[in-house]
Amino acid sequence: MKSEQAEPARIVVLISGSGSNMVAIAKSCLKKEMDGEIVAVISNRPNAAGLERAKELKLATDFVDHTEFATREEFDVNLIRTIDEHSPDLIVLAGFMRILTPDFVRRYKGKLVNIHPSLLPKYKGLNTHNRALEAGDKEHGVTVHFVSEDLDGGPNIIQAVVPVLDDDNAQTLQVRVQAQEHVIFPIAVKWFVEGRLSMIKGDAYFDNQALPETGLQLNPESIS
């Protein structure tokens, strides 16, 4: 894939909030840890703090304000138009808090990845840290996965496992999980731009080997 091309892989990052994962990926690109370049950071929220952080990194930014569209379909058509202006090789959902239409997901099949703060398939949806605490889980974590038409349901690429401590609350747990997000997301993006990752018939492959349901699972010791 990209390894045969002279130009860095073109990455579009979609955000809704603070953009800390976008920054982690951008820094990895800027440090030349991978042959990739963020060609645009796009938000559905014009005031997303992450857009300012992207500008500070001299990245191109844009927004498609979802409140201006009557339907999810109309929003996605406009989002697609904005994304495609940048001819991306990879679209990264980094805290993008919108449910995408099947048309959107199909269009970018195999080149659309998301980060979700749980050990998927556990705790799809929101409030994952509270749910892990309420269940009394001893381990929690974060997953990067390919996006399929099922919400938080595409095949896993990589997970980081984070131990739950006796005195954890949702906030302390979130801080430790997010530290791992910033480690594993750039790794997954690097693998993609190196052509080592693919999605075939709904399964994720790494170096032509089907990945287990968890994806490649790392614990903090192995990635710190």
* Positions marked catalytic: 116
**Chain-centroid distance, C-alpha 197:** 14
Q: Which is nearer to ligand GRF, 101 or 114 (CB)?
A: 114
Residue nearest to ligand GRF as judged by C-beta position: 95
Cis peptide before 155 (omega within 30 of 0): no
Among the listed residues 36, 88, 95, 155, the single contact to ligand GRF using CB under 6 A: 95
C-alpha count within 13 angstroms, C-beta hemisphere, residue 96: 29
Give me the least distance between CB of 70 and ligand GRF, in Å please.
26
CB atoms within 10 A of CB 143: 27
Q: Counting contacts by CB under 6 A, is residue 50 touching ligand GRF?
A: yes
Q: Which is nearer to ligand GRF, 30 or 200 (CB)?
A: 30
Residue 188 one-letter amino acid: A
For ligand GRF, the binding residues in 167-186 under the rule CB under 6 A are: 178, 181
Adjacent-strand bridge partners of 150: none
Contact with ligand GRF (CB under 6 A) among 51, 64, 91, 94 = 94
Query: By CB under 6 A, is residue 53 in contact with ligand GRF?
Result: no
**Segment 134-163, which members bind ligand GRF (CB under 6 A)?**
142
Least distance to ligand GRF from the beta carbon of 160, Å? 11
Q: Could you give the C-alpha distances from 13 to 9, 121, 204, 213, in angstroms and in order?
A: 13, 23, 21, 25
Pairing state of beta strands 139-146 and 112-116? antiparallel
We find the least distance from the C-beta atom of residue 155 to ligand GRF, in angstroms, to be 17
Number of residues that bind ligand GRF (CB under 6 A): 15
Nearest to 139 by CA among 156, 162, 171, 114: 162
Closer by beta carbon to ligand GRF, 2 or else 53: 53
Cβ proximity to ligand GRF, 172 vs 195, nearer residue? 172
Place of tokens 């997010």: 178
